[in-house]
Amino acid sequence: MRIVHCEDFFIPDTGYQLNILARYIQSKGHENIILTSELKKMPAFLTDFFGVENIAERDQEYTRETGVQIIRVPIIKYYSGRSIYRPGHFKKLDSLNPDVAFFHGEDTYLGIRATWRLKRFPYPILFDDHMTDLASVNPLSPLFRKFYRAFVAPKINKNMLTVICTADDGFIFEHYGIDRELGPYIGFGSNLQLFHPDASNRHKTRNEFEISEDDFVVLYAGKLDEAKGGLLLAEAIKESIPSSKNLTFLIIGNTAATDGNSGYKKQVEEALMASQNRVIRFPTQPYSKLNKFFQCADAAVFPKQCSLTFFDVQACGLPVILEDDYQINIQRLQHNNGVLFKSGDVEDFRSKIAMVADMPADEFREMKKSAERFIVENYNYDTIANQYLEIVMRVAKGEKLS
45 pLDDT higher than 80: no
Task: Say how far apart CA 190 and CA 380 lie, in whole Å.
Answer: 6
| pLDDT given at position 133 | 59
Greater model confidence, 86 or 148:
148
* Fold observed for domain 199-378: Rossmann fold (3.40.50)
C-alpha–C-alpha distance, residues 212 and 215, integer Å: 5
Rounded to 10 degrees, what is the CA torsion of 394, 395, 399, 402? 100
Looking at residue 137, its pLDDT comes to 60
Torsion, CA 365, CA 233, CA 50, CA 261, rounded to 10: 170
CA separation for the pair 127, 114 (Å, rounded):
10
How many other CB atoms are there within 10 angstroms of residue 167's CB atom? 18
pLDDT band, residue 261 (cuts 50/70/90): low
What pLDDT score was predicted for residue 326?
Answer: 82
**Topology at the third CATH level for domain 2-189+380-396:** Rossmann fold (3.40.50)
| Statement: residue 402 has pLDDT above 90 | no
Average pLDDT over residues 315-321: 98
pLDDT over threshold 90, residue 150: yes
- Residues 372 and 57: their CA atoms lie apart, in Å, by 34
Q: What is the pLDDT of residue 135?
A: 53
CATH 3.40.50.2000 domain range(s) in the chain: 2-189+380-396, 199-378
